[in-house]
Amino acid sequence: MMIKPAKRTESVQEYYFSRKLKEIAAMNAERAADGREPVINLGIGSPDGMPPAEAVAALCESAVQPGNHAYQSYVGLPELRSAFADWYARWYGVELDPAKEIQPLVGSKEAILLISLAFLDKGDKVLVPDPGYPTYSSASKLVEAEIVRYDLKAENGWQPDFEALEKMDLEGVKIMWTNYPNMPTGAPATEELYAKLVDFGKRHGILICNDNPYSFILNDRPLSILAQPGAKECCLELNSLSKAHNMAGWRVGMVAAEAEVISQILKVKSQMDSGMFKPLQLAAVEALKQGPEWFEQLNAEYSRRRVLAGEIFDILGVEYDRNSTGMFLWGKVQKGTGEQVADKVLYEAGVFITPGFIFGKNGEEYVRISLCAKPEVLKKAADLIRNI
> Do 66 and 189 have their domain in common?
yes
pTM: 0.93
Q: How far apart are CA 59 and CA 85, in angstroms?
A: 21
Q: What is the CATH number of the domain that holds 215?
A: 3.40.640.10
Q: How far apart are CA 96 and CA 267, in angstroms?
A: 20
Domain that holds residue 307: 7-50+293-386
In a domain, 233, yes or no: yes
Pairing of strands 102-105, 253-256: antiparallel
User: By CB neighbour count within 10 A (0-12 exposed, 13-18 middle, 19+ buried), where does 260 fall?
Assistant: exposed
Q: Which of 222, 254, 287 is the last residue of a domain?
A: 287
Q: What is the pLDDT of residue 4?
A: 85
Q: How far apart are CA 235 and CA 15, in angstroms?
A: 27
Domain count, the chain: 2
The 3-state DSSP class for residue 330 equals strand
Q: Which of 287, 322, 352 is the last residue of a domain?
A: 287
Q: Hey, what long-range contacts does 15-19 have (CB within 8 A, 24 or more apart)?
A: 15/134, 15/135, 15/138, 16/134, 16/358, 17/43, 17/44
Cβ atoms within 10 Å of 268's Cβ, excluding its own: 16
> Do 208 and 149 have their domain in common?
yes
**CA–centroid distance for 148 within its chain:** 20
Q: What is the pLDDT of residue 237?
A: 98
Q: What is the pLDDT of residue 8?
A: 83
The beta strands (E) that lie in the chain are given as 40-41, 102-105, 125-130, 146-151, 173-179, 207-211, 235-240, 253-256, 319-320, 328-332, 351-352, 354-355, 366-370
**CA–centroid distance for 64 within its chain:** 32
Q: How far apart are CA 161 and CA 144, in angstroms?
A: 26
The beta strands (E) that lie in 297-384 are given as 319-320, 328-332, 351-352, 354-355, 366-370
Q: What is the CATH number of the domain that holds 328?
A: 3.90.1150.10
Q: Which of 287, 309, 338 is the last residue of a domain?
A: 287
In a domain, 1, yes or no: no
CB proximity list for 121: less than 8 A, separation 6 or greater: 143, 145
Comparing CA positions, the residue from 150, 219, 155, 153 lying closest to residue 178 is 150
**Cis bond leading into 279, ω under 30°?**
no
Q: How far apart are CA 172 and CA 125, in angstroms?
A: 6
Per-residue pLDDT of the chain (388 residues; tens, 9 = 90+): 888 888 887 777 788 888 888 999 999 999 999 899 999 999 988 999 999 999 999 999 999 999 999 999 999 999 999 999 999 999 999 999 999 999 999 988 889 999 999 999 999 999 999 999 999 999 999 999 999 999 999 999 999 999 999 999 999 999 999 999 999 999 999 999 999 999 999 999 999 999 999 999 999 899 999 999 999 999 999 999 999 999 999 999 999 999 999 999 999 999 988 889 999 999 999 999 999 999 999 999 999 999 999 999 999 999 999 999 999 999 999 999 999 999 999 999 999 999 999 999 999 999 999 999 999 999 999 999 999 8
CB proximity list for 246: less than 8 A, separation 6 or greater: 47, 48, 49, 50, 51, 52, 298
